[in-house]
Amino acid sequence: MSGSGPTPAQRLTLDRLADVLVPEGRNMPAASAVGVSEGLLDRFLDAAPALAEPLLSLLDEAPAEGLDAFVRHLASQRPGDFAVLSTTVVGAYFLSAEVRRLTGYPGQQPNPLSVASEPDYLDMLERVYERHPGYRECS
Amino acid sequence: MVTQGHQSHVLIIGAGASGSVAAARLAAAGFEVVCLEQGDWVGPADYMSAQPEAELAWVERWNPDPNVRQGLADYPLTGDADVRPVMYNGVGGGLVQWAAMWQTLLASDFRVRTLDGIADDWPIGWGDLADCYAQVARDMSVSGLGGDPALPEMDPYPNPPIPIGKIGRVAAEGMDRLGWHWWPGANAIASRRHGSLQACQRRGTCMIGCPENAKATPSLTHWPSAQAAGARLVTGARVTEIPVDEQGRVQGAAYLDRDGVEHFQQAQVVMLAANAVGTARLLLLSASSRFPDGLANSSGLVGRRLMQHPYRTVTVVCEDPLDSWQGPWGQVIYSLEFAETHPDRDFLRGAKWMVMPHGGPMFAAAEYQEAHRHDGFEAVWGANFHRAADEVFGHAFTWGIQAEDLPEDHNRVTLDPTMCDSSGLPAAHVEYRVSDNTRRMLDFNVARAVEAAEASGAVSTLVRDVWPTGIGHVLGTTRMGNDPQTSVVDRWCRAHDVPNLYVIDGGVFVTGGSANPTATIMANALRVTDHLIEARASQEIPA
């Protein structure tokens, strides 16, 4: 990540904003509990450095109290800023190894194809062939 | 001082789908070929696909929208458009980021005026492209199953189809219950090692770059042979103007290198292959006293009739796990059930459907949020946020529905009067409205896709409105035709106004069909290039 990066105060604010969007529930941890404002945030901003400046401005702007209302205001009145915040929170959240374990997501891993000599759908395809009127003639 | 390049036989502008085909063919035939590409080479070392952060590639660096990505080679797109075009600028062009779906046009697509009384007929037919469709499918290592009764007969694909997997099976069973057309998808993704491609590893990152080199892109399939045969590819070359001589023949192209140094590449023939937005922009940038409205624009049609295949999706959520973050992210199956005009419907022409996986949990969440965007904050955030991962992730697939948008003069590319790219050239200004016909077509098809989802046993569906960014299909801005008053290029894609200027990208499409256009763009580029080679003795060139 380029620049000086988020300050501790900005990280703390992000934790509080993130939990408005992603609280604990359905056996899943809250955003702050997995560290979205820590190393996950740094990894996120390494991948999307252009979002750093608008994100940090937003964190500086956030009030000390009433963060729930602030997030809702962004969502309804400032969609561009809300997209910066929500993309960061969601992107960082799903980088968490704990979240991936709980959701059963291994990442985009290689998994070689197995090409069958005879696909198992040929019976259905035969019915497509039988009922189709043929392509539209043009002459 | 402007540096002068040795005169080539043929100068190609753009190293994407069409330019690559032309370069390889011409070089193999012994022509001296130079290709100017404003972007750079890209390959596995540049991709984020094998990193844990792969899903984040879409946020910025590999976002298909150049206005978001803002790469060095990108130029801004301005204007008020219901659908904003997307593209990639680099060796391979749009095929760097494509999903590799391989689909020929329908036979009827070439005769829309004759059959349906709207738009125009092409000056060529499906049969004129048949051999070229087969050749480019071999060159692109396409995997698929022939025999689809909705299409004319064609040569077998070089590789067996990619398995339809769990998501294809569930989708196909729904179509089977309804008695609707479906067929295993053809994709320019190698199901086994073939040509320059390795076998697909199902990583599911096709659109942000395949680290296994299993997806066809011209840097693998065309440029190695083109360069071995002598073609010269100049990257980082941003064309600024295509000037003409006193006889009205193009002389080559002026361009800037990465350092802003001016060059001039002379050529006997120029082929424009910069996509339907970029080519129109270059023609308009090349206005002169002889061509005050833009080069090759006596018809006034350069930049007009932009078509983009407006796109909606129905994501089908199922009870059983489908492992649907796995790839390939091409088309697993497709349907042409509603691709033709039908007298009982309140719209003309139709749409193509295709089944795709939905990606990782970030994508699942985004799909869920977008489908519920009008339902308020509570529906997708806070206590409901985890529903996306819990219910959708790994349990869903998407029916993508791409509509045939008919050509309309007011959908157009012009030069922006104020905004410029990093070289000081006017940005492309795009005006595009989704027509009432297209909206009715999409509404109808979405309703049918929901029925198909129910027939597949869906527990819920996530329906999205027209996507505000395009799917990389930009067509029609330099249409082909026999009449110089109503078209920009002739049936051989030579400009009516300029005898040694050709346009070979998707701009020449007369109508767009509903098929993914790459197969047709590449086949047509091959057809036109072969004709240029055959007719070389009669080709007019500058003095």
Taking residues B457-474, what's their average pLDDT? Answer: 97
Question: Which residues are CB-neighbours of A8 under 8 A, at least 6 positions away?
Answer: none
Q: How many CA atoms are closer than 13 Å to the CA of B5, on its beta-carbon side?
A: 28
pLDDT by residue (tens digit) across B313-348?
Answer: 999 999 999 999 999 999 999 999 999 999 999 999
Q: What is the pLDDT of residues B344-374, one digit of tens each?
A: 999 999 999 999 999 999 999 999 999 998 9
pLDDT of residue B364: 93
**Residue B339: closest CA among B433, B400, B403, B279:** B403
CB within 8 Å of B375: residues ≥ 6 apart: none
Longest dimension (CA), chain A: 73
Q: If residue B428 lies in a helix (H) or strand (E), which one and from where to where?
A: strand B426-431
Q: What's the first-to-final CA gap in chain A, in angstroms?
A: 62
Token pair of B188, please? 């320019």
For residue A82, give the chain B residue with the closest CA.
B377
Query: ipTM score here?
Result: 0.94
Our CA dihedral for B308, B309, B315, B320, rounded to 10 degrees, sits at -110
pLDDT in tens, B423-439: 999 999 999 999 999 99
What is the pLDDT at residue B146? 95
Reported for B86-89, long-range contacts at CB under 8 A and 24+ positions apart, including other chains, are: B86/B469, B86/B470, B86/B471, B86/B472, B87/B275, B87/B277, B87/B278, B87/B472, B87/B474, B88/B39, B88/B64, B88/B472, B89/B38, B89/B39, B89/B278
B486 backbone φψ class: left, alpha, beta (φ>0; ψ -120 to 50): alpha
Q: What is the mean pLDDT of residues B474-486?
A: 98
Task: Give the contacts of B211 (CB within 8 A, at least 6 positions apart).
Answer: B44, B47, B49, B50, B203, B205
pLDDT of A2: 46
B224-244 pLDDT, tens digit per residue, is: 999 999 999 999 999 999 999
Q: Are B349 and B441 in contact (CB under 8 A)?
A: yes
**What is the pLDDT at residue A113?**
84
State how far the alpha carbon of B33 is from the alpha carbons of B160, B266, B398, B506, in Å.
35, 11, 42, 21
Measured between beta carbons, the chain B residues lying within 8 angstroms of A122 are: none
User: Could you give all domains of chain B from N- to C-terminal order, each with its CATH number?
Assistant: 3-42+63-75+88-358+394-538 (3.50.50.60)
Q: Which residues of B touch A28 (CB under 8 A)?
A: 386, 389-390
Separation between Cα atoms, residue B289 and residue B282, nearest integer Å:
16
CA of A83 vs chain B CAs: smallest distance (Å): 11
Q: Which of A48, A108, A111 sits opposite B205 (nearest CB)?
A: A108
Look-up of token digits 């801004």: B76
Q: Which of B191, B205, B386 sits opposite A113 (nearest CB)?
A: B191
- Of B48, B53, B163, which is closest to A95 when you measure between CB atoms? B53
State whether the Cα torsion B518-B18-B76-B90 is positive or negative: positive
Hey, what amino acid is at B28? A
Counting DSSP H helices and E strands in chain A, the numbers are 7, 0
B202 touches A at CB < 8 Å: yes
Distance from the Cα of B13 to chain A's closest Cα (Å) equals 31
Residue of B nearest to A27 (CA): B386
| Three-state SS at A23 | coil
For residue B407, what are its two tokens?
């050509």
Contacts of B158 in chain A (CB under 8 A): none
Is the distance from CB of B48 to CB of B57 less than 8 angstroms? Answer: yes
* Cβ–Cβ below 8 Å for A113 and B201: yes
Pick from B48, B386, B469 the residue to mutate for testing the A interface (most A CBs within 10 Å).
Answer: B386
Mean pLDDT of chain B: 97
Q: What is the mean pLDDT of residues B17-23?
A: 98
Cβ distance B314 to B449 under 8 Å?
A: yes
The interface residues of chain B toward chain A in range 372-401, judged by CB-CB distance below 8 A, are 377, 381-383, 385-387, 389-390, 393-394
Q: Do A116 and B204 touch (CB under 8 A)?
A: no
User: For residues A35-44, b (16+ Cβ closer than 10 Å) or e, as one string?
Assistant: bbbeebbebb
Q: Are the beta carbons of A115 and B382 separated by less than 8 Å? A: no
Examine residue B328 and say whether the peptide bond preceding it is cis (omega within 30 degrees of 0). Answer: yes
Over pLDDT 90: what percentage of chain B?
Answer: 97
Q: Which of B196, B244, B187 is nearest to B222 (CA)?
A: B196
C-alpha dist (Å) from residue B459 to B63, B285, B306, B360, B454: 31, 53, 38, 20, 8
What pLDDT shows up at residue B6? 84
Residue from the list B179, B325, B377 with its beta carbon closest to the beta carbon of A108: B325
Q: What is the pLDDT of residues B401-417, one digit of tens each?
A: 999 999 999 999 999 99
Alpha-carbon span A113 to A107, nearest angstrom: 17
Chain A nearest C-alpha distance from B152 (Å)? 7
- By C-alpha distance, which of A6, A13, A17 is closest to A70? A17
B363 contacts on A by Cβ (under 8 Å): none
Query: Structural domain boundaries of chain A?
Result: 8-106
Q: Which residues contact B285 (CB under 8 A, 6 or more apart)?
A: B240, B241, B294, B415, B425, B426
Q: Count of CB atoms within 10 A of residue B32's CB?
A: 17
pLDDT of B543 reads: 82
In this predicted structure, what is the pLDDT of residue A3? Answer: 58
Between CA B226 and CA B32 the distance in angstroms is: 11
Query: What's the gap in Å between the CA of A12 and the closest CA on chain B?
Result: 19
Say if the Cβ atoms of A113 and B202 lie within 8 Å.
yes
Q: What is the pLDDT of residues A40-97, one digit of tens each?
A: 999 999 999 999 999 999 999 999 999 999 999 999 999 999 999 999 999 999 999 9
- Nearest-Cα distance to chain B for A51, in Å, is 9
Q: What is the mean pLDDT of residues B491-501?
A: 98
